[in-house]
Amino acid sequence: GENVEQHPSTLSVQEGDSAVIKCTYSDSASNYFPWYKQELGKGPQLIIDIRSNVGEKKDQRIAVTLNKTAKHFSLHITETQPEDSAVYFCAASNYQLIWGAGTKLIIKP
Amino acid sequence: NAGVTQTPKFRVLKTGQSMTLLCAQDMNHEYMYWYRQDPGMGLRLIHYSVGEGTTAKGEVPDGYNVSRLKKQNFLLGLESAAPSQTSVYFCASSPQDIFITEAFFGQGTRLTVV
């Protein structure tokens, strides 16, 4: 079945710097790749998603890139701010949605 | 604008006790889901529903039962709680299948089984 690996498990960056989180998936038929942000004590919230017919998508400071050949996709956050501190989850789906283990992003002031 | 509301937010059970977790959504979504979240792991799907009166098993259904008698509510039951069911439980809803579109999550229920 599908397997999604997410790295790193913890990422600490200086405020204002960029952060990159990477995920790899195993099922080449996967066609939908969402990213969710989970703040402390809250449920996950979708921040951006990409489909297999698109290579890159941007939304203000957030971007996601997809490499179908290598079966990996990445989340890029530029000009990080304190409110970006959270746990970020990637996921991949074909007929079921499989989640990565999460990355705890820490923004240092 | 409540979105997805879970009740209760915290609960401690003794091994063998039963309980029901309630999820309510006010967005008129057809699809609803129950997930569990354990440290160092991604979300794992327990059960889901594609509409009122329907339920289906997810990735880790053993030890749980669900019901969707009303479109807006999705109940998760533990008949005989075990320590392995200690987890944070999330309910979610979506207008279409979560495999293709955004899902909206509740704030979670932290369950401890002792």
**A26 interfacial to chain B (CB closer than 8 Å):** no
Dihedral of CA atoms B43, A5, A98, B86 in degrees, nearest 10, equals -20
Query: Is the Cβ of B90 closer than 8 Å to some Cβ of chain A?
Result: yes
Interface of B with A in 24-53 (CB under 8 A): 40-45
Residue B45 half-sphere exposure, CB side, CA atoms within 13 Å?
A: 21
Put simply, the chain B residues between 51 and 80 with a CB less than 8 A from any chain A CB are 59
Q: What is the pLDDT of residues B12-55, one digit of tens each?
A: 999 999 999 999 999 999 999 999 999 988 899 999 999 999 99
The whole-number pLDDT of residue B100 equals 81
Q: Which residues contact B90 (CB under 8 A, 6 or more apart)?
A: A43, A44, B6, B34, B35, B36, B37, B43, B105, B106, B108, B109
Quick one: which of A88, A90, A89, A100 has its CA closest to A32? A90
Per CB-CB distance under 8 Å, the chain B contacts of A41 are: 107-108
Looking at residue B1, its pLDDT comes to 65
Query: What is the mean predicted confidence (pLDDT) over A65-77?
Result: 97
pLDDT(B2) > 90: no
Q: Which one of A41, A42, A89 has the shortest CB-CB distance to B42? A: A89
Please judge whether A89 and B98 are an interchain contact, meaning their C-beta atoms are less than 8 angstroms apart: no
Question: What percent of chain B is modeled with pLDDT above 90?
Answer: 89
Find the mean pLDDT for residues A50-73: 95
Per-residue pLDDT at A81: 97
> B62-65: long-range contacts at Cβ-Cβ below 8 A with a sequence spacing of 24 or more?
B64/B34
> Distance from B37 to chain A by nearest Cα, in Å?
10
**A41 vs B4, B102, B107: nearest CB:** B107
The whole-number pLDDT of residue B44 equals 95
Q: How many CB atoms lie within 10 A of CB A105?
A: 21
Give the separation between CA A93 and CA A2, rounded to whole angstroms.
8
